[in-house]
Structure 1
Amino acid sequence: MTEQGVRWTADQVLSLAPDAASRQSGSQLGSPGRWSGTGSSEEGAVWGSCAGSGSAAYRTVVDVEGATGAAYRCSCPSRKFPCKHVLGLLLLWSGGEAAVPVRPEEQAPEWAESWLAGRRSRREGGGREGAGGSGDCGGPVDPEAARRRAERRAERITAGAVELEQRLTDLLRSGLAGAESAGYGLWEETAARMVDAQAPGLAARVRELGALPGSGADWPARLLEECALLHLLDRGWLHRDRLPDNLAATVRSRVGLTASPQGPPLRDDWLVLAQYDTADQKLTTRRIWLHGTVSGRTALLLSYGAAGRAPDLVLPVGLAVDAELSAYPGGGQMRVALGERFSPPAPTAVRPPGVTTVQAAARYGEALRDDPWLDSVPVTLDSVVPTPDGASWHLADAEGGTALPLTATAAARPGLWRLVALAGGTPVTVFGEVGHRGFTPLTAWPPGPGEAVRLC
């Protein structure tokens, strides 16, 4: 369908809209009531018929091209590209398989199948991939049109970044104390402006800011820190042409521009280190950490599902899978795309090499040079003992006399007690994420031989 079977988020879909009116009209069509005959394929096609004001339904078909864009065709007479029907269909598709089920592409209606076949024939033959036809809202897919579209989006993001800089300046001039009384509405309105600017990454960080006022005794300090990081990201975007290529790619990713994997695929026996889900109102995100048993590389797979639904991609923790992975661009970027799998996951005696707690903290500091907005980095701690410290917990080096505090979230999870029971006061190997809030354990291995134990 798309890379790793990922359906786009609503923000990604709405970022295609040519104007605010199209976003509003498309959002109204993003529910099943007006649609019939919807379907999607593993090859990246989405189709459906939308009831309109006339007797004949509008026929809409989209060829989703990974995470970087889409080509589309609709029988409506709109002169906007994409039209509201394309946006509505993609929003419906982003909501999950219940509304737009996955079907074999040969089950697509003839009008959709013929357009898809013609488009892919032109692609394979090196021809221009236009939609063609009077009354069709075909997407601009030739290189020059794609370049102009990218430039227009960059201009919108720049306008949004300039506006956000002004809002941050106003906040600091008026004082952080007023942020608590202003309520969440101010932040949500600012986030909506960033969505309008087609910068979903900026919008997400603004929403995170809105949750900080009044969230604890130290909230003003944390709010100031996060405002500084958001200001840094703004300035990075506005001066991206002066940045090294890797850092510029990181900035583009952080503001919300998607990218495709680059470089040759790397085949290895990938040990599944950890797997866990996080969710918000729109999306469930699954993070899968992998370790190359030959290359020694640590890699991150992301998989997505609609809110309340688990993503499709599942890799059992502690097993190894023979597969190819392709890396995404960006300084210090660990995210990869899953390519061909040559065998199912199988048991392995391999464990990732570990470091001390001091080396783990240093590794996070080094990673911040490539990506200042990183919350954490993956590390494996070798020979550490879970140790209580009043109301909190630490992982202490068995011999070094140093320790890492656990994050507040980790200390409240049942997995902490599984880790304590596994260790029994003796050193264990623990994989997790270390950042400015502390260490979050995700998987542990007992002393001597034994299987991996999930802690999340």
Structure 2
Amino acid sequence: MNAMGVRRTAEQVLALAPDEASRRAGSGLGTARSWSGAGTDGGAVWGRCEGDGPMPYRTVVDTTGPACSCTCPSRKSPCEHALGLLLLWAADEAAVPAADGPPDWAADRLPALRAGAAGRAEGGAPADPEAARRRAERRAARVTAGAEELERRLTDLVRGGLAAAGQRGYGPWEETAARMVDAQAPGLAGRARELGAIPGSGPGWPVRLLEECALTHLLDRAWLAGDRLPAGLAATVRTRVGLPSVPGGTAVRDRWLVLAQYDTGDGRLTTRRIWLHGTDSGRTALLLSFGAGGRAPALALPVGAVVAGELTPHAGAGQLRAEPGEPLVPVGGPAGPPPGGPVGAALDAYGRALREDPWLDSWPVTLGRVVPARAEYGWQLADADGREALPLTGADRARPGLWRLLALSGGAPVTVFGECGHRGFTPLAAWSPDLPAETVPLL
């Protein structure tokens, strides 16, 4: 790609959206069937999108800003067409082929965009840092207003009694979530939706609702006291309320074993999680890749492969997420599993991680010499010496990966990598003593 521009990820593109409506509309336009004549020269992306009128909308984005121009009537910036074009470019390079330069209609608009937009100055710094600071302050003020409103909603819930939450239905919480989206705090919006769903989650829901209320209250208070937090924890809080996470650590070059890969989605955005283990550094890293509009994320790595490259960790306390500084290159043969420990060590690791990030649902751990066994409440992974055990999460007790794990073990101890959390353990990969260099995926 031309060094002039920046090819953003789907997450970074959606973070540019001025509101939730634009985010949804842009996600729907991030597919090749919506566009014709799309192309890029690295410094700009352009294309024509069919609209309601007789002529297609002509959209051009200066990727050094980004700044955009579109013939649609929207007064939002970026408009849904610019978001859709950038999402298409992020997900499918073939749909936005490289060209020697833009067509005349796009080239005519680029000088004005580059002259008047908040582009990037030499060295990658914003051309107008004062404008960027003001935008950040305005968004922080909106998030603060959202956090204060959510605090009032939690106070009303506790004063009225948790039992009443089951009678009010999901509607009030969905309205609260929509206001958190308007406040540009999607992380708080997600927690509001979770609060609304808990009363219908089955027996024991009041306990779960109280736990989630406490965690949401803690996040609200942490945001409101952000200027008094340690730098790492403050970065974690910003990520948890929904501000974009960015690389901020020292790059690590290593040979990385691909431990697991799996997708989750909400119908509008597919999130792919890839767990890696540094065979030399011993570090664990998480790569996130996104696909909008029903498209699969672009990044895919085969489980069990060893790839070489440089990863830069994101800022934040206890964060494992990282970004590749370059394409990860396969380097040949298989590798053995990360060093494994007993169940007690895994629980200790999760506890230490919670001190850094109290909102963690789970933490990656490797269990050594454990045996899958059936208990009174369901399946579990127990230390071979029988001292301690971890229950498998409900979804994992029913999926085919459990039977693959049972077949691999055959009653003998195995090594298992997975995610350890307050709901139990989710196994993602396993190794048998007979074939220690063969990674068996459990998804």
TM-score class normalised by the smaller sequence: 0.7 to 0.9
| SS in structure 2 at match of 1:86 | coil
Change (3 A) 1:207 1:45: farther
Q: Deviations over 1:360-403 (max 9, x none)?
A: 00110110011000000000000000010035011111125211
Specify the alignment match of 1:437 in structure 2.
Answer: 423
| 1:84 and 2:76 correspond | yes
Contact 2:48 2:59 in 1 (8 A): yes
How much does 1:322 deviate?
A: 0.7
Specify the alignment match of 2:61 in structure 1.
Answer: 62
Query: C-alpha separation between the residues in 2 aligned to 1:27 and 1:358?
Result: 44
| 1:165 and 2:151 correspond | yes
What amino acid sits opposite 1:92 in the alignment?
G
Contact 1:8 1:94 in 2 (8 A): no
Query: C-alpha separation between the residues in 2 aligned to 1:417 and 1:42?
Result: 50
What amino acid sits opposite 2:59 in the alignment?
T
Query: C-alpha separation between the residues in 2 aligned to 1:71 and 1:332?
Result: 31
Gaps of 5+ in 1: 18-22, 130-139
Specify the alignment match of 1:126 in structure 2.
Answer: 122
Q: Aligned match of 1:12 in 15, 20, 24? A: 15
Q: Aligned match of 1:109 in 103, 113, 130? A: 103
Specify the alignment match of 1:74 in structure 2.
Answer: 69
| SS in structure 1 at match of 2:251 | strand
Change (3 A) 1:215 1:448: same
Change (3 A) 1:252 1:31: closer
| SS in structure 1 at match of 2:132 | helix
Specify the alignment match of 2:38 in structure 1.
Answer: 39
Q: Deviations over 1:234-255 (max 9, x none)?
A: 1111110000000000000011
Contact 1:377 1:434 in 2 (8 A): yes
Q: Deviations over 1:396-420 (max 9, x none)?
A: 1112521111111111111001001
Change (3 A) 1:400 1:3: farther
How much does 1:85 deviate?
A: 6.4
| SS in structure 2 at match of 1:84 | coil
Specify the alignment match of 1:291 in structure 2.
Answer: 277
Q: Aligned match of 2:387 in 401, 404, 410? A: 401
How much does 1:101 deviate?
A: 3.2
| 1:315 and 2:310 correspond | no
Specify the alignment match of 1:370 in structure 2.
Answer: 356
Contact 1:30 1:92 in 2 (8 A): yes
Query: C-alpha separation between the residues in 1 aligned to 2:347 and 2:247?
Result: 29
Percent of aligned pairs with the same amino acid: 56
Query: C-alpha separation between the residues in 2 aligned to 1:252 and 1:205?
Result: 14
What amino acid sits opposite 1:73 in the alignment?
C
What amino acid sits opposite 2:78 in the alignment?
V
Specify the alignment match of 1:136 in structure 2.
Answer: none
Change (3 A) 1:213 1:125: closer
| 1:260 and 2:252 correspond | no
Paired residues in the alignment total 432
How much does 1:347 deviate?
A: 2.3
Q: Deviations over 1:165-196 (max 9, x none)?
A: 11111111112222222222211111110010
What amino acid sits opposite 1:71 in the alignment?
P
Query: C-alpha separation between the residues in 2 aligned to 1:263 and 1:297?
Result: 13
Contact 2:418 2:426 in 1 (8 A): yes
Contact 1:11 1:200 in 2 (8 A): no
How much does 1:104 deviate?
A: 1.3
Contact 2:40 2:46 in 1 (8 A): no
Q: TM-score, normalised by structure 1?
A: 0.84
What amino acid sits opposite 1:109 in the alignment?
P
Alignment RMSD (CA, Å): 3.5
How much does 1:127 deviate?
A: 9.8
How much does 1:349 deviate?
A: 3.0
Change (3 A) 1:25 1:248: closer
Gaps of 5+ in 2: none
What amino acid sits opposite 2:345 in the alignment?
Q
- Which range is displaced more, 36-45 or 180-189? 36-45
